[in-house]
Amino acid sequence: MMMLSPTGWRALLYKETLRFWKVGFQTVGAPVLTAVLYLMVFGHVLEDHVKVYGTVSYTAFLVPGLVMMSILQNAFANSSSSIIQSKIMGSLVFVLLTPLSHWGLFFAYVGSSLIRGLAVGLGVFVVTLFFAMPAFAAPLWIVVFAMLGAAMLGTLGLIAGLWAEKFDQMAVFQNFLIMPMTFLSGVFYSIGSLPPFWQTVSHLNPFFYMIDGFRYGFFGVSDASPWLSFGIVASAWLVVSAIAVHLLRIGYKIRG
Amino acid sequence: MPAISFQSVCKTFPPSRQQRAQGKPGLRAVDDVSFQIEEGEFFGLLGPNGAGKTTLISMLAGLSRPTSGSVSVHGFDVQRDFAEARRHLGVVPQELVFDPFFNVREALRIQSGYFGIKKNDDWIDELLTSLGLADKATANMRQLSGGMKRRVLVAQALVHKPQVIVLDEPTAGVDVELRQTLWQFVAKLNKQGSTVLLTTHYLEEAEALCNRIAMLKQGRVIALDSTSELLKSAASNVLRFKTDMNLPWSLAQHARITGRIVQLPAKNAHEVEQLLVSLREAGVTVEDVEMRKADLEDVFLDLMAGEQTPLEVAR
């Protein structure tokens, strides 16, 4: 028997989650391996030379940064790749012909990005436990920043997917914006170790606050107050969400 | 209430950057189109490539917005009441598109879910059986032939039991078996009360299936009538023969020529006699001469070649 429900967006959320899960080696396994390689190489080289926040070993410091970097990159990859692929292959029409509203599309694409980001982040975290066991000074902040970071990058991926018409335009977005902002946000170092000018520049990067706030959840120490980081990241997410919802509402580059 | 209503619909595509630099205007793909399709009709939308058929269907499906005018499905405006309009509408797109991550049943379940429909397997099974896909239910979309992918597109469009079915060139490049299966199934749905809007280049299909037809040319409706009335408007007979020789221009300009086969319109026996005399005088040797009744293709070619303004022909 047919049952009607007003929440068709859940089907899109399910489909988007199933989409990455079906190629889990590529979408979850590979980023976990990459993060572990980073940890092994940088941890091995710098473990005996660098202490962060006075007492934290470099490998332990690196773990939350790598987990967050993996969350951010994979949340972005999920929504952006799904939309650009379905636009180019034409299969986006299956979604566009349905009664799904712009809010439905937003929640489904961002929700599935959040799931993938957190799945990869959890995978990285579990594997890195074999190398270092970080503390859990404020677990709630860990959850809050992991979810905010994934949602933020999932939303940015949605915008990039709508904007890009070709794969190389997407590569520009990914390689010249997302990647530098992630790498220069303090994944591999504390910005306290930078010269004053670069500290100021880092404070203009919203990605810095995601990683710094996330790290606070582990060590109870950070370069910026977690409340300040929360305010900045949450505000930034609201701004990019407003842009993404507007683009979906007007059918930017998806409805003629 | 009509199943589909187009009211003074215009669609102009803005000029590309290059066209703008050259001072060229945008393309007016649909120009002041108004007509209605009643519930239960099997309606044909015909026209040459670039006539505006797919643009009109895109606006109906909400894939594209009209520059002016309005489109509604069962009284629901496709822009303002888009959710209700789309619940009533099932569209089979022209392009052979598919999602490579899923098998056939998954694709149909997911499509049902978009419409808020859970536990739809009974209807999905019926669709799979009716469209000859029962043994492909667990096959990945990538493994299917073009014809099978086309069947899945039809099933996806029907998964929410829409009251209005839009088929945009559904038989382009598909084999005879699929055509038969598809038309039998769609005719059954039409008999059960579904409204069908069909665009096709196969005019014999339109003639056999559609009870009413609109013809588009350069974005405007140049004919809109029942199929039988359109057929009456054409020359009632066609003289058909084979020849290896060139026709004189006076005859060639009215002829449909396909390889060796030549077809010339003739209203009555006197015109047939005149045609044969002209051929003999031009020294054209013919064989396999026969007469047949005019068909929709003759009407179509007449209208597309004609110099009538749309208002003179449209009813």
Lowest mean pLDDT segment, chosen from B132-141, B179-188, B266-275 = B266-275
Across the range B215-228, mean pLDDT stands at 91
Cβ separation of A8 and B118 shorter than 8 Å? Answer: no
Across the range B131-146, mean pLDDT stands at 93
Lowest mean pLDDT segment, chosen from A143-157, B44-58, B86-100, B222-236 = B222-236
Q: Which residue has the higher pLDDT, A15 or B269?
A: A15
Indicate the domain borders of chain A: 25-250
Whether residue B272 lies within 8 A of chain A, CB to CB, comes out as no
Residues of B in contact with A19 (CB under 8 A): 101
Whether residue B315 has pLDDT greater than 50: no
Mean pLDDT, rounded, of chain B: 89
Lowest mean pLDDT segment, chosen from A59-63, A241-245, B195-199 = A59-63
What chain B holds in terms of domains, given with CATH numbers, is 4-231 (3.40.50.300), 235-293 (3.30.70)
Lowest mean pLDDT segment, chosen from B125-134, B242-251, B276-285, B290-299 = B290-299
Lowest mean pLDDT segment, chosen from A136-150, A217-231, B104-118, B219-233 = B219-233
The DSSP code sequence of A76-99 is HHHHHHHHHHHHHHSTTHHHHTSS
pTM above threshold 0.90: no
Scored b (16 or more CB within 10 A) or e, B241-268 reads bebeeebeeeeeebeeeeeeebbbbbee
At residue A51 the predicted structure's pLDDT band, cuts being 50, 70 and 90, is low
Whether residue A199 has pLDDT greater than 90: no
Residues of A in contact with B13 (CB under 8 A): 256
Residues of B in contact with A83 (CB under 8 A): none
**Which among A19, A98, A255 has the least Cβ separation from residue B114?**
A98
**Which among B63, B95, B122 has the least Cβ separation from residue A256?**
B63
Cβ separation of A95 and B87 shorter than 8 Å? Answer: no
Q: What per-residue confidence (pLDDT) applies to B213? A: 94
Across the range B180-204, mean pLDDT stands at 91
- The nearest alpha carbon in chain B to A96 belongs to B63
Across the range B55-80, mean pLDDT stands at 96
CA dist., res. A36 & res. A125, Å (int): 9
Whether residue A152 has pLDDT greater than 80: yes
Q: What per-residue confidence (pLDDT) applies to B313? A: 36
Lowest mean pLDDT segment, chosen from A99-113, B24-38, B70-84, B172-186 = B172-186
At residue B78 the predicted structure's pLDDT band, cuts being 50, 70 and 90, is very high
Q: What per-residue confidence (pLDDT) applies to B312? A: 35
- The nearest alpha carbon in chain B to A5 belongs to B116
Cβ separation of A5 and B116 shorter than 8 Å? Answer: yes
At residue B309 the predicted structure's pLDDT band, cuts being 50, 70 and 90, is very low
CA dist., res. B56 & res. B66, Å (int): 9
